[in-house]
Amino acid sequence: MGISPAGEVPSAEAAAALGRWVAEGLHGSLGWMARSMEKRRSTALVLPGVRSVVAVAVHYPAVGTGDVARYARGDDYHRVLGRRLAELAAFIRAEAGGEAVARWYVDTGPVLERDLAARSGLGWVGKNSMLIHPARGSWSLLGEVLTTVPLEPDAPVPDHCGSCTRCLEACPTGAIVAPHRLDARRCISYLTIEHRGPVPPEWREPLGLHLFGCDVCQEVCPFNGPGAAAGDPALGERPELPTPSLTGVLGLDRPRYLEAFRGSAMKRARLEGLRRNAALALGNAGDPRAVGPLARALAASAEAVVRGAAAWALGRLGGRAARFALERARRDDPDTEVRREAEEGLERSG
Ligand code: B12
Ligand code: SF4
Ligand code: SF4
Secondary structure (DSSP) of 307-321 = HHHHHHHHHHH-SHH
Model confidence at 314, pLDDT cuts 50, 70, 90, reads very high
SS3 343: helix
Selection from 16, 66, 43 nearest residue 144 by Cα: 43
pLDDT at 62 over 80: yes
Nearest Cα neighbor of 56 from 77, 26, 35 is: 77
How far is the C-alpha of 64 from the C-alpha of 68, rounded, in Å? 9
What percent of the chain is modeled with pLDDT above 70? 99
CA distance 278 to 259: 18
pLDDT band at 243 (very low <50, low <70, confident <90, very high): low
- pLDDT given for residue 238 in this prediction: 77
d(CA 101, CA 146): 8
Q: Is 127 in the pocket of ligand 3 (CB under 6 A)?
A: yes
Give the pLDDT score at 350: 78
Strands 176-178 and 2-5: unpaired
pLDDT at 241 over 70: no
CB atoms within 10 A of CB 182: 22
Interatomic CA distance for residues 149 and 69, integer angstroms: 36
Cβ pair 188, 209 in contact under 8 A: no
Three-state DSSP class for residue 205: coil
- pLDDT of 65: 81
Q: How confident is the model at residue 244 (pLDDT cuts 50, 70, 90)?
A: confident
The rounded mean pLDDT for the chain is: 96
% pLDDT > 90, the chain: 93
Ligand 3 close to Cβ of residue 134 (< 6 A) = no
Q: For residue range 191-224, what is the model confidence (pLDDT) as tens digits?
A: 999 999 999 999 999 999 999 999 999 999 999 9
Q: Mark whether 107 is an active-site residue.
A: yes
Whether ligand 3 lies within 6 angstroms of the CB of 221 is answered as: yes
pLDDT in tens, 143-163: 999 999 999 999 999 999 999
The residues pairing with 131 across neighbouring beta strands, listed in sequence order, are 125
Asked whether the beta carbons of 252 and 275 are under 8 A apart, the reply is: yes
Give the span between the Cα atoms of 163 and 315, in whole angstroms. 42
Q: Select from 120, 132, 122, 187 the least CA-distant residue to 161.
A: 132
Q: Which helix (H) or strand (E) holds 348?
A: helix 336-348
**Partners of 143 in beta bridges:** 56
Which pLDDT does position 242 carry in this prediction?
Answer: 56
pLDDT at 85: 98
- Please name each of the domains of the chain with its CATH number: 1-237 (no CATH), 238-350 (1.25.10.10)
Q: How far is CA 292 from the centre of its chain?
A: 30
Tell me, what's the pLDDT at 63?
84
For ligand 2, atom 2, the nearest C-alpha belongs to 214
Q: Is residue 301 within 6 Å of ligand 2 at its C-beta?
A: no
pLDDT given at position 227: 85
206, 112, 221, 193 alpha-carbon torsion, rounded to 10°: -30
CA distance to 44, 102, 123, 274, per residue, from 266 (Å): 32, 29, 27, 8
67, 75, 76, 107: which one is catalytic? 107
Confidence class for position 33, pLDDT limits 50, 70, 90: very high
Other Cβ atoms closer than 10 A to 53 = 28
CA distance 5 to 313: 52
CA of 308 to the centre of ligand 3 (A): 36
Span 130-144, pLDDT tens digits: 999 999 999 999 999
Q: What is the mean pLDDT of residues 53-78?
A: 93
Nearest 10 degrees: Cα torsion 188, 189, 192, 196: -110
Q: What is the CA radius of gyration of the chain?
A: 22
For the cut 80, the answer to whether the pLDDT of residue 80 exceeds it is yes
- Is pTM, for the whole model, over 0.95? yes
Task: pLDDT band for 339, please (50, 70, 90 cuts).
Answer: very high
Instruction: For residue range 282-298, list pLDDT tens digits in order.
Output: 999 999 999 999 999 99
Q: What are phi and psi of 316, to 5 degrees?
A: -75, -35
The average pLDDT across 173-185 equals 98
Amino acid at 311: A
List the residue whose alpha carbon is closest to atom 2 of ligand 3. Answer: 164
Question: Hey, how many other C-beta atoms are within 10 angstroms of the C-beta on 120?
Answer: 28
Q: Could you report how far apart the first and last alpha carbons of the chain are, in Å?
A: 57
